[in-house]
Amino acid sequence: MRWWDGREWTFHIARPAGAERREPFRTLPVVAAWWGLVVTVAALVGARLILEVLGRFDWPILVYAALAAILGYGPMVAYCSFASRRWGTGSLATDLGLRLRWKDLAWAPVIWLSAWAGGIVAAIVVLAIRLPITSNTEGIDEYAGDRGVLIAFLIVAVLVAPVAEEMIFRGVVLRGLASVAPIGLAVAGQGVFFGAAHVDPVRGWGNLGLMLVLAAVGVVFGGATYLLRRLGPAIAGHALYNAAVLAIVLLIDP
């Protein structure tokens, strides 16, 4: 509501009593985003190198899955905690929006469907311009008969990865980029970084198409985080997205 003073409307807006005030989207210094990306790359590359060395011992796949989760995602979570203390208030809920509510479960299918739509549009573009594309789930179907391995995959993909990746990309990187760029560019930028984080040298040129598809998915998660002001809905949507991908890979015969 604005006030008419007889000549023009006042510039300010008066809110009705009891109206819910939309909280601001808190940002972090852009240096927090850059260091977050450095930590992410170091963690993913380091985990891969360490696992290649440890692979000679022929340990159970469950052990390797646990190590992959700890080595790959542990440093990301630790850095998010450090960034909150270094550049924020020390509260992950306040600085990164790490808040979970029951209604986030209702947002999950909406965000999941939006992510699928974004990924499909990106895939159509990739195929139209004939970019090579491969899946980042290749080889998982080989373990379809091993219940223990499937449980490990589900824990990592549906519980660990969504939390850690949302904290670093939508919690730190997005908020860092938003401090120096319009929110649209910040959302797009973190989406590109999210897609690039899934690059695997084994897939070769197929990384190009996969990166674009996952970048589109990351943009949807980033947009949801900005609009809803917390990570809970994106975490729930991300978990549902990963669970659906695993279900398709494991249940549908090629």
Residue 65, SS3? Answer: helix
pTM: 0.88
What are the angstrom distances between the C-alpha of 176 and each of 33, 79, 111, 122, 189? 5, 14, 23, 25, 11
The pLDDT score that the predictor gives to residue 16 is 59
Q: In terms of DSSP H, where are the helices of 129-231? A: 147-154, 161-165, 174-177, 183-196, 206-228
Predicted confidence band of residue 147 (pLDDT cuts 50, 70, 90) = low
Task: Give one DSSP letter per residue of 120-183, joined into a string.
Answer: HHHHHHHHHTT-----TTTTGGGGTT-HHHHHHHHIIIIIIHHHHHIIIIIIIIHHHHTTTS-H
Encoded tokens for 39: 């930590």
For 234-252, what is the HEC assignment?
HHHHHHHHHHHHHHHHHHC
User: Is the model's pLDDT at 1 over the cut of 70?
Assistant: no
Residue 60, SS3? Answer: coil
Q: Percentage of the chain surpassing pLDDT 90?
A: 66
CA dist 197 and 251 (Å) reads 27
The pLDDT score that the predictor gives to residue 240 is 95
User: Is the model's pLDDT at 4 over the cut of 80?
Assistant: no
Predicted confidence band of residue 67 (pLDDT cuts 50, 70, 90) = very high
User: Is the model's pLDDT at 117 over the cut of 70?
Assistant: yes
Read off the pLDDT of each residue in 51-67 and give the average, rounded to a whole number: 87
For the chain, helix, strand, coil in percent to 5 are 70, 0, 30
CA dist 172 and 205 (Å) reads 29
Which of 82, 47, 28, 31 lies closest to 197, judged by CA?
Answer: 47
Neighbours of 22 (CB within 10 A): 7
Cα within 13 Å of Cα(194), Cβ side:
30
Encoded tokens for 84: 């909150």
CA dist 174 and 89 (Å) reads 17
CA dist 136 and 130 (Å) reads 18
Encoded tokens for 6: 């007889």
Per-domain boundaries in the chain: 30-88+102-148+162-251
CA dist 161 and 48 (Å) reads 16
CA dist 76 and 45 (Å) reads 13
Residue-wise pLDDT for 19-36, tens only, equals 556 788 999 999 999 999
The pLDDT score that the predictor gives to residue 211 is 95
